[in-house]
Amino acid sequence: MTTPATDRASVLDPLTLAKVANLSLKARLVVEGVLSGLHKSPHHGSSVEFAEHKEYSPGDDTRHIDWKVYAKSDRYTVKRFEEETNLKATLVLDASASMLYQGSGVSKWEYAVTLAASLGYLMLRQSDAVGLALVSGAGTSFVPPRSNSGHLKALLDALERARPAGRVALGPALETLAGRLRRRGLVMVVSDALDELPPLLRALAHLRHQRHEVILFQVLDRDEIEFPFEGLTLFASLEDEREVLSDPVVVRRDYLARLAAHEATLERALRAHEIDRVRLVTSTPLDKALVAYLAAR
Amino acid sequence: MPTFLNPALLYGLLGLSIPVVMHLIGRRQGKRVAFAAMDFLLASERRLAARRKFVNVLLLLARLALVAAIVLAVARPLLQAPAVLATGPVSLVAVIDRSLSMRAEVNGSPRFDRLKSALLAEIDRLPEASEVAVVVGDTAAKRLTPGFVSPREARVALVAVTAGYGRAEMAGAVREARAMLDNARHASRRLAVASDWARSSWEGFVPPQDIDFAPIDDGAAAPENRALSALALAPGEDREVVNLVAGHWPPSEAALTLVAELSAGGAVAARQLITVAPGQTAGQAQLALPAGLDAHEPLSFALKGQDAVADDDRRLVLPEPRAPVRVYAVDGEPAATVLGDELLYFGAAARAASNPTLALTIVDGTALTWPSWQGQDVVLLANVEHPDPAQAQALKAYVEEGHGLFITLGRKVDARAWNEALGSLLPGSLEAVESGPTPARLALPAADDPVVAPLATLARKEPLELRLEALYRVRPAADARTLVALADGRPLLLMRAVGKGKVALLTTSVDRDWTDLPMRPCYLPLLERTLRSLAGALTRPFPRSYLVGERVAFPAEAEAPLSVATPDGRALTALLGAAGMSFAETAIPGLYRAADAHGGRYDFVVNIDPRESDLRPLTGGPAKLARSTAAGASVPGAGRGTDLSLLLALVALAALVLESELARRR
């Protein structure tokens, strides 16, 4: 007999989720799974101006339950405030071909799409406005932030239609996005962040300069972290025509050193700009990502 | 510059192309993986490319070294020590063994070729102004150069030498070489001997201690060899059979079965299996000769299958009917009536037309003097009272020369006189006449003796019994052999070797006076075999058969000129010497056709000396000789010619380890 905790864990496992074809259902499973496990919501309303009521859901602060409405209608209703309802979040999804890499589990792309859908679902469920920017080699497609309930479908449709392609200059794309996001909000970047760092860091710094909250969800495959290959191998780039014949045993140490240096540079720069980085391996349960988001909120 | 004992194996160096091809092919092989973090990988590869290129080159070199070291190791390089090279002019006698055993093939080439190459290399290494003499170890030692000549001339002479078919007397060859060195011009004197060191040629050889003795060996283990080593004719049931002896060296741990074939006129006439017991080197079998053979057409006996030396698996013989044994029979009781004659039964059987194996001359034993028995093979004294002293003395001399004496007893025999006159010849002293049991059952204490083989055959079917009314009690001589006895142990037929001849004694009568033996089926075969054994012709070698290198003496009736056609097609002439016609050019085995101008044919066959088939080396091998020589006080440079095989094997091992490590790190 399984406990609720193990049920939740199995639902949040990426491989389990991969068997669910419907993205909306995936997102709901993730979000509900996460919220059901939280004893206390990290969701704090910071605004004081009342804006509207919403039905209570687990995770809402019980201090904001409107007891008068409860007395009248026998329903738990939570008061929402102006600042909170005006939060605009933008999901930026790296749709470069490198995100198609798939090791022994789900691909980075599938993981990232499920993560983005879950985040979108969670935010819309809390009446936040959510937008989506898909950055691929073919260009950037943008879904403006909305908070109405019908917006979830638009987001999920865009995610399902997206196909990773080519190389992506994520830094310039974020610079462009920074120009469009006039009001401060939350920018969540989902990428493997394996590109050249300076342009990306400049763009992230630009977003912070505009007082956006920025979270970087870095999605990596375990193969990229451990480089477990054996035997003479012809490595071919997913993004372009580059190939290299290499003996992984010989190259491993140098490769891992370069990756570690890259990540250390990234970590230092993000910390300097107070940007949260959530490092996710495609085998990591998705609640880790959502909890990170909720903590940031 | 090293020399190689197996130079043909250097073709294996072509295998050096294998690592190169592997290197070129291996560069573009590998499974394909689509990967994301290519920037890091490419940067790593760029940094490691130079190192990997270096490792790849090292790997290629290690593989080339591995192949080269293995090939060179099996080619057995010998390195001349610098100390030897640095010496002044040398007087060298190069001795090469060209015996049959040198034809043995090891690793695909005859040992003779390899050892000749090594000896040539020894000559090539000599310092300037050196001198060389060449001696060939053959059936007789032979100087190939008249004396010391230049290394170039010696080389030319040695190159022309080929392996022979005979047995080499190598100790004689070394003595010959040693004698040549006494006349050498230079103080530095060396004796180099190239041989397979087969024990048959070298056993008991003591290397000279006062010169630089350099045994040259190819280091190869003696290969297994088998041979048809001996053929002899023996009496069979109805006609002669051939005793085949096949050898196998070294002894096998398991029993071996060899197949011998007899071919006549190019067609296989019979086959026989010869079993060599475990741990033994020889096995025997008998093969009946076909009837109606032509004395001038050779029979070929051959072992089937292949081995190290093919030439010793075949032997040729010329069939020739056996000559009758000439018997000088002294009848001690020549009766006036036919039935009373002592030799009635024996004479009748011997003269039968179907028995050409006995030529009987009968004389009266009661006469005071007997005619001369010169030219006879055996003297038979049947119931003779006793020989007089002169006759006894002549008989002793006759036997000791190598002839036979057969004594049968009877009522006329004076036992005491016999013991006095010929006591030293008799197989047993005669004591007294006794009556025998009736029926008398016979025993065969020496059932394996060919003389009693017919009785042994009969005894397997039914007990041997006969009527025996009387016989002499005899006390056998210590060296006499009882061939037939009564069941109670009393001897009936005894034989004894005296000098080069033999004496047999039948303790009863040869006629029916005391026994019904003459009526028994074994009578004639038993007497005939006894007579043939006494004549030394019970088993006989094939006539007109010689060994390689042996001088052939033709019978006196052969007349000069006598032409001889050799097996290799040459037409030669026999030499006429003081001892008659002879021929010594028997260097190759086969059939030699000889004929004189009057149509007389004197064909003969030449076969391999069976001792050459044992290829096992001298105990301890040449290394023992080298050590022995090195112990001498005046032997500079002994033990040189270092074999680099072990060193190269170590190089190959190191290359293998390096290759494994580099392949792992690449």
Residue A39 lies in a domain: no
**Are B618 and B199 a contacting pair, CB within 8 Å?**
yes
CA B659 to chain A, closest CA, distance in angstroms equals 16
The total of other beta-carbon atoms located within 10 Å of residue B24's CB is: 10
Long-range contacts: B388-394, Cβ < 8 Å, 24+?
A: B388/B421, B389/B421, B391/B421, B392/B421, B392/B422
Residue A15 lies in a domain: no
Distance of CA A277 to the CA centre of its chain: 10
Residue A118 lies in a domain: yes
Burial of B128 (0-12, 13-18, 19+ CB in 10 A): exposed
The domain boundary residue, chosen from A86, A112, A136: A86
A211/A177 same-domain check: yes
A254 and B36: CB-CB below 8 Å?
A: no
A79/A160 same-domain check: no
Indicate if ipTM > 0.85.
no
A61/A183 same-domain check: no
Q: What is the pLDDT of residue B264?
A: 87
Would you give per-residue pLDDT tens digits along chain A (297 residues)? 334 444 444 545 666 666 656 666 667 777 766 666 554 444 444 444 455 677 787 767 777 788 888 888 888 888 765 444 457 889 999 999 999 998 888 899 999 998 888 888 888 877 788 899 999 888 888 888 888 878 888 888 888 888 888 888 889 989 988 888 878 888 999 999 988 899 999 999 999 888 888 989 999 999 999 999 988 888 888 888 888 888 888 888 889 999 999 999 999 999 999 898 888 898 888 777 777 667 655
A79/A216 same-domain check: no
The total of other beta-carbon atoms located within 10 Å of residue A248's CB is: 18
Residue A41 lies in a domain: no
CA A73 to chain B, closest CA, distance in angstroms equals 56
Residue A3 lies in a domain: no
A244 and B45: CB-CB below 8 Å?
A: yes
A82/A189 same-domain check: no
A242 and B42: CB-CB below 8 Å?
A: yes
| A104-108, B144-148, B451-455, B486-490: least confident range | B451-455
Residue A9 lies in a domain: no
Residue A28 lies in a domain: no
In which domain, by residue range, is A224 found?
87-296
Question: Least CA distance to A253: which residue of chain B?
Answer: B44
CB-CB: which of A192, A245, A250 is closest to B36? A192
Pairing outcome for strands B575-577 and B580-583 = antiparallel
CATH code assigned at A219? 3.40.50.410
State pLDDT tens for residues B125-137. 899 899 999 999 9
| B462-478: average pLDDT | 92
- Give how many domains chain A has, as a whole number: 2
Pairing outcome for strands A139-146 and A129-136 = antiparallel
A159/A71 same-domain check: no
CA A1 to chain B, closest CA, distance in angstroms equals 41
A70/A106 same-domain check: no
Residue A30 lies in a domain: no
State pLDDT tens for residues B601-652. 999 999 999 999 998 888 765 555 553 333 322 233 334 456 788 888 999 9
d(CA B318, CA B264): 10
d(CA B608, CA B615): 14
A259 and B38: CB-CB below 8 Å?
A: no
- Tell which residue, B576, B578, B577, has the closest CA to residue B597: B576
A155/A58 same-domain check: no
Average confidence score pLDDT of chain B = 85
A56/A100 same-domain check: no
A51/A172 same-domain check: no
B45 and A246: CB-CB below 8 Å?
A: yes
Chain B CB contacts of A196 below 8 Å:
39
| B249-265: average pLDDT | 90
d(CA B123, CA B91): 10
The domain boundary residue, chosen from A68, A86, A104: A86
A75/A140 same-domain check: no
pTM of the full structure: 0.52
d(CA A90, CA B286): 110
The domain boundary residue, chosen from A86, A111, A135: A86
Chain A CB contacts of B47 below 8 Å:
254
A172/A206 same-domain check: yes
